Amino acid sequence: MGRFVLGVLRALHGRTDVRLTLCCRDSIGPPPKTILEPSPSPVHAGSDAVTPPYASSASDPRRHAPAWGYLPWSRLSGEPGIDVAWFPWNRVDPRPPAWSVVTIHDTAAFDWPVRGRFAFIENHRAQQRLRTACKRATRVMTVSNFSKCCIERHLGVNDARIDVVSEGASLPPAMGTEHPSKPFVLFVGAQDPRKNLDGLLEAWRQLRESNASGEHELVVAGCRRNKIDGVRWLGEIDDVQLAALYQQCALFVMPSRYEGFGLPLLEALASGAPAAAARAASLPEVGGDAVAWFDPENAHEMALVIAKLLADPSQRARLSAAAIHQAALFSWERAAGEVLSSLRRAVASNPRPNSV
């Protein structure tokens, strides 16, 4: 979610048709604050810093849209001319006296509820948060047609109230970064069951047993486990390292069972990496014809697809070329324009919401 918000804000920088007020909490825990132009220091959103300023000069001072964090409306009660509030984090905590748009990135709380002790309470709260957000917001924004269908099904939001906003890919240059000495297949993600790392590890075991993996090793970025032969665990990495891995991998694999969008796949394509991915959830919307697809529930099929690509450099080269063209269909500039369109549709709603 953080990459989505930062990507949109960066793309909005410099526009003169909207004035933004960014409301957020500092990553080290100071009180909530509103950052108006010009910002004297980096703007913090979660654990990421944005180079300021991100509130552009307004050609019309009445057009004023805050990119909303989890702040009580009373903290901005004196802020003039706010037309619409954007809540980009799956929730609407306050209900401001203005039109509002909430971004619901996915409905995993319904489709992939957590398990374990007290899971019922956690799932109920997460589901209720989404219901409340959709009830309070004038419009709902989401990041894929797959997620749009899920929102309609689970939250009962009418199709006409939902806007689909694509994402983009932007990573820093990967200069001066060390990389694995062996050719490698890359996985990027957490140890969430939705990411299906276990399925990939089983496919990799089959590849090694049949010697189809050759000299390649599997590099896992984003999490760590106990040592497994043929697998290198990198844990958490920064964006420069991530960009280098995308550019240097022999093959990127995304075996997810469930994604609201699938940003790692888009980032890999934008880096020119040949990719294989699960034919599931939103991933086909992102990858199109530039990806080799497999069933995420069939580790044997996954292994066959990976083995075929590792054995065929020409096919990987074709996928790499197609990846660049597919990724060009997405950009943060396009996403920012779609966000503004959604906000303007909310402002066009009538009557103006009452203060609650």
Question: For residue range 80-101, what is the model confidence (pLDDT) as tens digits?
Answer: 667 888 999 898 876 665 789 9
Supply the pLDDT for residue 261: 97
Which of 162, 9, 78, 100 minimizes the C-alpha distance to 347? 100
CA-CA distance, 48 to 3, in Å (whole number)?
Answer: 9
Supply the pLDDT for residue 174: 73
Residue 74: pLDDT band by 50, 70, 90 thresholds? low
Residue 168: pLDDT band by 50, 70, 90 thresholds? very high
Least confident of 118-127, 158-167, 170-179, 181-190: 170-179
Residue 218: pLDDT band by 50, 70, 90 thresholds? very high
Which of 275, 277, 319, 282 minimizes the C-alpha distance to 296? 277
Is the pLDDT score of 23 beyond 50?
Answer: yes
For residue 21, the SS3 value is strand
Q: Which of the pair, 54 or 118, is modelled with greater confidence?
A: 118
Tokens representing 26? 């500092």
Which of 154, 187, 147 minimizes the C-alpha distance to 4? 147
Task: Name the percent of the chain lying above pLDDT 70.
Answer: 79
CA-CA distance, 330 to 271, in Å (whole number)?
Answer: 13
> Given this chain, do its domains 2-168+332-347 and 184-327 carry the same CATH topology?
yes
The architecture CATH gives domain 2-168+332-347: 3-Layer(aba) Sandwich (3.40)
- Centre a 10 Å sphere on the Cβ of residue 74 and count the other Cβ atoms it contains: 9
Residue with tokens 């529930």: 297
For residue 342, the SS3 value is helix
Is the pLDDT score of 29 beyond 50?
Answer: no
CA-CA distance, 88 to 100, in Å (whole number)?
Answer: 11
Mean pLDDT (whole number) for 113-117: 84
Which tens digit of pLDDT belongs to each residue from 314-332?
999 999 999 999 999 999 9
The residues near 144 (Cβ < 8 Å, ≥ 6 apart) are 164, 166, 260, 261, 282, 285, 286
How is 296-320 classified by DSSP, letter by letter? TT-HHHHHHHHHHHHT-HHHHHHHH
Mean pLDDT score across all residues of the chain? 84
Supply the pLDDT for residue 16: 76
Tokens representing 87? 């809540």
Which tens digit of pLDDT belongs to each residue from 260-314?
999 999 999 999 999 999 999 999 999 999 999 999 999 999 999 999 999 999 9
Query: What value, to the nearest 5°, has the Cα angle with vertex 234 and ends 231 and 240?
Result: 130
Tell me which amino acid residue 43 is.
Answer: V
What is the pTM for the complete model shown? 0.85
Mean pLDDT (whole number) for 2-26: 80
Radius of gyration of the chain measured on its C-alpha atoms: 22
Query: Can you name the residues that pair with 346 across neighbouring β-strands?
Result: none
Going from N- to C-terminal start, the domains of the chain cover 2-168+332-347, 184-327
> What does the buried/exposed string (b/e) look like for 157-173 if buried means 16 or more CB atoms within 10 Å of the residue's CB?
beeebbbebbbbbebee
DSSP 213: T
Is the pLDDT score of 223 beyond 90?
Answer: yes
Is the pLDDT score of 189 beyond 50?
Answer: yes
DSSP 288: T
Q: What is the CATH number of domain 184-327?
A: 3.40.50.2000
